[in-house]
C-alpha cells in the first residue's frame, strides 16, 4: 500500500474570485473595499470590505453605511467564467486533468502531480507559483482524501497557503465544521433542531437511517461528512481554442486598413469553427490601442456570423458614429475576437429551398447596416415610461430586444398615441390674449387662458381647443434625472393637434397628432 491513497485530491482555491475578476475588468485595485451586488444585496465582497463588516446578503445601503469608501459593481457570472479561463489553461500546463468546481475553484487528482513534483507539498507550491505568475494573489491549496475535504482544507488554513490533511484523517478534520456545508438550507435547519450541528455529529448517525429520512441527497452529504466521498475528480476535456488575436506592428490608425488587414484572420476564425461543425452566434471584440486604452463589447447576430459580419462588427466598434474614412483617436495595436456563444451547425442548417423571406430580409438589413452603421437600422418595441420618447425602445437590428414587462404607468397618456414623437425638443410659444406666454404656477394652475399658439419662428394663430395642465412628476428622489413638467393637449388653427410640455425653461412640443 502506498502512502497516497487513490482518492486523494488537490483543490486550488482563489478566494473572492468574482471580486478579483470584476476588479481586474474595471481596472480597480482588488485590495480596496469593493462589493458586487445582485438584486440589491451584496453577492461577494473584497477582504477590505469584509474587515469593515460587509457580508454576503447584506442590503446595498447597509453595506455603504458600514464601509463608506466601498465601490459597488454589478455581479456578472459570465465575467467570472471568462476571467477564470486563462487561469485554467495555465494550470493545465502545470497539472493536466483539471475539474472546474466553480469559477475560482479547481480540483485535480493528487497522485500524478505528487509523484511528478516529488511530494504533495511540492506539487502545491508548483500550483501556487503558476497562479501567481498570472497575477492572482492569495490563492490557497488544500490536499485531502476527496475533493470536498480538500476544498475545506484549502478554506480552513490561515497561516500558510497550503493545507494538507493526512491520508485517512479527513473524517477527523471535517468533524468540527458546520453541517450546512453538505446539506441544503432546509435540511440544515431540521438537523440543527434535532441537535446535529457539526459534520462529526452528522457522520455519527447510522447511514441507513440518514438515507431513510433524508433520501439520496442526505446520504450523499452523509458520505461527504464521514470522509467517504465516492465521487472523484472528473477532469474536463480542454475545449478547442477558437479565439483569435491579431497584433499590428506598426499600429494601424485607419479603420479601412485595419478591416483589410483583419479580413483573412476573420475567415480563418470562422473556418476553424466550421471545421468543428460549429456556428458562432455571439462574439466579443476586444481592442487595445497605443495609449493603453481598451474597448470590449459583445455583438449578437440574429443568425450566425460569416467572416464579413465579423469584420463589420470590428469596424462598427471602431468607428462609433463616424464614417469608414475617419481616423482613429489612437492607433490600434491588438485585436482579439472571442466566440461567446457557439452552436452546432445542425441547428442552423438551411432548408433545401432556403429559409423563406426572413432570411432575405436579414441580408438586406445587414447590407443597409454596413452602409449606415450598426445603429442605422432599428426595430422598435414599446417600453415603459411616462414621457413618450422614453416609451419607444429602438433596438439595432441583430441585438436582443429588452424584455417586455407589463407595468402600470400612472400618469401616462390615454390610449390615443400621437403619430409623431419628437426626439429633440422643439420650442413653441403659447400666448394668452395679451400676447404674454402662458405660465404655470407652483400649484399647477395656469396664469391665463391660452389664446394663440406658434411653432418656433412662426406667426401666432388662434387656438381652437385645449386642455391641461396635467402634471408629470418623476424621480423626485434623483437630483439629476428628476422631472417636473406639465402637459397640454392643444388643437391649433389648422386643425392639427399637439402634445405640449411646459417645464422650467418654457414651452416645447413633445409630440404631434398628425
Partner 1 sequence: MVTLAAPLRSPTARLERVDELQARIQGMQSTRLETRAVPTHPAFAGLLPGGSLREGTVVEAQGSTTLVMALLAAPSASGRWVAVVGMPEFGVEAAARFGIDLDRLVLVPEPGRQWLAVVAALADVIPVVAVRPAQRVAPAEASRLGARLRERGTTLIAAGAWPGADASLGVELSEWHGLELGHGLLDEREVVVSAAGRGGFAKRRRSRLRMPDRALGFAVADDAADDRGGAGTGHPTAAPRLTPVLHADFARPA
Q: Toward partner 1, which CB reaches closer, 241 or 406?
A: 406
Alpha-carbon distance values, 479 to 76, 389, 440 (Å): 28, 20, 22
Site for partner 1 in 480-499 (CB under 8 A): 489-491, 494-497
Shortest Å distance, C-beta 374 to partner 1:
12
Per the listing, cell 407652483 goes with 442
Q: How far is the CB of 34 from partner 1 (least distance, A)?
A: 40
- CA-nearest of 514, 343, 505, 507 to 421 is 514
430 part of the interface to partner 1, by CB under 8 A: no
Is 377 among the residues that bind partner 1 (CB under 8 A)?
yes
Specify the 3-state DSSP secondary structure of 179.
helix
Stretch that binds partner 1, among 35-43, 101-109, 183-191, 389-397 (CB under 8 A): 389-397
Q: How far is the CB of 310 from partner 1 (least distance, A)?
A: 21
Position 467 contacts partner 1 (CB under 8 A) = yes
Decide whether 4 or 509 has the Cβ nearer to partner 1.
Answer: 509
Nearest residue to 399 via CA among 423, 365, 355: 365
Only segment of 26-34, 105-113, 329-337, 465-473 that touches partner 1 (CB under 8 A): 465-473
Q: Is 356 in the site for partner 1 (CB under 8 A)?
A: no
How far is residue 424's CA from residue 422's CA, in Å, rounded to a whole number? 6
H helix or E strand, kind and range, residue 391: helix 388-391
| Cβ contact 452:431 at 8 Å | yes
Rounded to a whole number of angstroms, the minimum distance from the CB of residue 54 to partner 1 is 43
Q: What is the largest CA-CA distance in the chain?
A: 107
Main-chain dihedrals φ then ψ at residue 100, nearest 5 degrees: -90, 110
How far apart are CB 341 and partner 1 at their closest, in Å? 22
By CB under 8 A, name the one of 420, 433, 447, 448 that touches partner 1. Answer: 420
Q: Would you report the helix, strand and coil content of the chain in percent, each value rounded to 5?
A: 35, 30, 35
Shortest gap between Cβ of 490 and partner 1 (angstroms)? 8
179 sits near partner 1 (criterion: CB under 8 A): no
Query: Binding of partner 1 at residue 319 (CB under 8 A)?
Result: no
Q: How far apart are CA 10 and CA 217, in angstroms?
A: 24
User: Which one of residues 59, 89, 236, 363 is an interface residue with partner 1 (CB under 8 A)?
Assistant: 363
Q: Which CB sits closer to partner 1, 348 or 360?
A: 360
CA 296/CA 73 separation, integer angstroms: 17
Interface segment toward partner 1; rule CB under 8 A; list 58-66, 184-192, 304-312, 460-468: 460-468
Taking the complex as a whole, the smallest distance from the CB of residue 423 to partner 1 amounts, in Å, to 6
361 binds partner 1 (CB under 8 A): yes
Strand pairing report for 105-109 and 98-102: antiparallel
By CB under 8 A, how many residues form the interface with partner 1?
53
* 137, 487, 488 from 467: Cα distances, Å: 66, 9, 6
User: Could you say which of 69, 204, 217, 364 contacts partner 1 (CB under 8 A)?
Assistant: 364
Q: For cell 395656469, what's the residue?
A: 446
Stretch near partner 1 under the rule CB under 8 A, chosen from 9-17, 199-207, 328-336, 457-465: 457-465
Which of 88, 421, 429, 472 binds partner 1 (CB under 8 A)? It is 421
Q: Which of 204, 382, 473, 482 contacts partner 1 by CB under 8 A?
A: 382
Residue 197 CA to residue 190 CA, distance in Å, equals: 10
Of the residues 115, 449, 475, 484, which one makes contact with partner 1 according to CB under 8 A: 449
What does the block give as the cell for 395? 433596438
Give which of 286, 310, 229 is closest to 82, Cα–Cα: 286
65 touching partner 1, by CB under 8 A = no
Unique residue bearing C-alpha cell 469553427: 273
Q: How many residues does the chain have?
A: 514
Q: Do strands 140-145 and 162-164 pair parallel, antiparallel, or not at all (unpaired)?
A: parallel
For 46, list phi and psi in degrees, rounded to 5.
-80, 170
Residues that bind partner 1 (CB under 8 A): 357, 360-361, 363-365, 367-368, 371-372, 376-382, 388, 391-392, 394, 397, 414-424, 426, 449, 455, 458, 464-467, 489-491, 494-497, 509, 511-514
Amino acid at each position: 500500500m502506498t502512502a497516497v491513497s487513490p482518492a486523494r485530491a488537490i483543490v486550488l482555491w482563489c478566494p473572492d474570485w468574482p471580486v478579483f475578476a470584476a476588479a481586474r475588468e474595471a481596472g480597480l485595485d482588488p485590495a480596496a473595499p469593493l462589493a458586487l451586488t445582485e438584486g440589491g444585496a451584496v453577492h461577494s465582497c473584497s477582504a477590505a470590505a469584509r474587515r469593515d463588516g460587509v457580508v454576503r446578503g447584506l442590503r446595498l445601503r447597509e453595506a455603504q453605511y458600514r464601509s463608506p469608501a466601498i465601490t459597488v459593481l454589478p455581479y456578472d457570472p459570465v465575467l467570472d467564467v471568462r476571467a477564470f479561463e486563462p487561469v485554467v489553461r495555465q494550470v493545465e500546463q502545470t497539472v493536466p486533468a483539471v475539474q472546474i468546481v466553480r469559477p475560482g475553484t479547481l480540483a485535480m487528482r493528487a497522485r500524478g502531480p505528487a509523484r511528478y513534483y516529488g511530494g504533495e507539498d511540492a506539487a502545491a507550491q508548483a500550483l501556487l507559483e503558476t497562479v501567481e505568475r498570472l497575477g492572482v494573489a492569495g490563492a490557497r491549496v488544500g490536499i485531502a482524501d476527496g475533493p470536498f475535504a480538500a476544498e475545506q482544507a484549502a478554506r480552513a488554513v490561515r497561516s500558510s497557503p497550503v493545507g494538507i490533511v493526512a491520508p485517512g484523517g479527513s473524517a477527523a478534520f471535517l468533524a468540527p465544521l458546520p453541517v450546512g456545508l453538505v446539506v441544503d438550507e432546509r435540511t440544515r435547519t431540521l438537523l440543527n433542531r434535532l441537535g446535529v450541528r457539526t459534520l462529526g455529529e452528522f457522520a455519527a448517525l447510522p447511514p441507513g437511517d440518514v438515507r431513510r429520512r433524508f433520501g439520496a441527497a442526505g446520504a450523499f452529504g452523509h458520505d461527504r461528512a464521514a470522509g467517504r466521498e465516492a465521487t472523484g475528480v472528473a477532469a474536463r476535456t480542454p475545449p478547442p481554442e477558437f479565439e483569435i488575436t491579431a497584433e499590428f506592428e506598426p499600429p494601424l490608425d485607419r479603420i479601412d486598413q485595419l478591416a483589410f488587414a483583419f479580413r483573412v484572420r476573420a475567415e480563418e476564425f470562422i473556418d476553424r469553427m466550421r471545421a468543428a461543425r460549429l456556428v458562432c452566434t455571439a462574439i466579443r471584440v476586444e481592442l487595445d490601442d497605443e495609449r493603453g486604452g481598451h474597448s470590449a463589447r459583445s455583438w449578437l447576430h440574429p443568425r450566425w456570423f460569416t467572416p464579413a459580419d465579423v469584420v463589420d462588427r470590428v469596424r462598427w466598434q471602431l468607428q462609433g458614429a463616424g464614417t469608414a474614412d475617419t481616423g482613429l483617436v489612437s492607433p490600434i495595436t491588438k485585436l482579439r475576437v472571442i466566440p461567446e456563444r457557439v452552436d452546432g451547425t445542425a441547428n442552423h442548417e438551411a432548408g433545401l429551398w432556403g429559409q423563406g423571406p426572413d432570411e432575405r430580409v436579414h441580408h438586406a438589413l445587414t447590407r443597409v447596416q454596413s452602409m449606415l452603421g450598426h445603429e442605422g437600422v432599428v426595430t422598435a418595441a414599446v417600453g415603459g415610461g411616462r414621457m413618450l420618447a422614453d416609451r419607444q425602445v429602438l433596438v439595432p437590428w441583430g441585438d436582443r430586444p429588452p424584455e417586455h414587462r407589463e407595468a402600470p404607468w400612472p400618469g401616462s397618456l390615454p390610449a390615443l398615441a400621437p403619430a409623431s414623437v419628437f426626439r429633440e425638443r422643439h420650442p413653441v410659444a403659447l400666448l394668452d390674449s395679451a400676447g404674454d406666454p402662458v405660465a404655470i404656477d407652483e400649484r399647477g394652475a395656469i396664469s391665463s387662458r391660452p389664446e394663440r399658439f406658434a411653432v418656433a419662428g412662426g406667426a401666432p394663430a388662434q387656438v381652437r381647443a385645449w386642455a391641461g395642465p396635467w402634471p408629470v412628476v418623476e424621480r423626485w428622489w434623483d437630483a439629476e434625472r428628476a422631472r417636473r413638467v406639465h402637459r397640454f393637449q392643444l388643437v391649433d388653427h389648422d386643425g392639427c393637434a399637439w402634445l405640449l410640455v411646459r417645464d422650467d425653461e418654457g414651452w416645447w412640443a413633445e409630440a404631434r397628432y398628425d
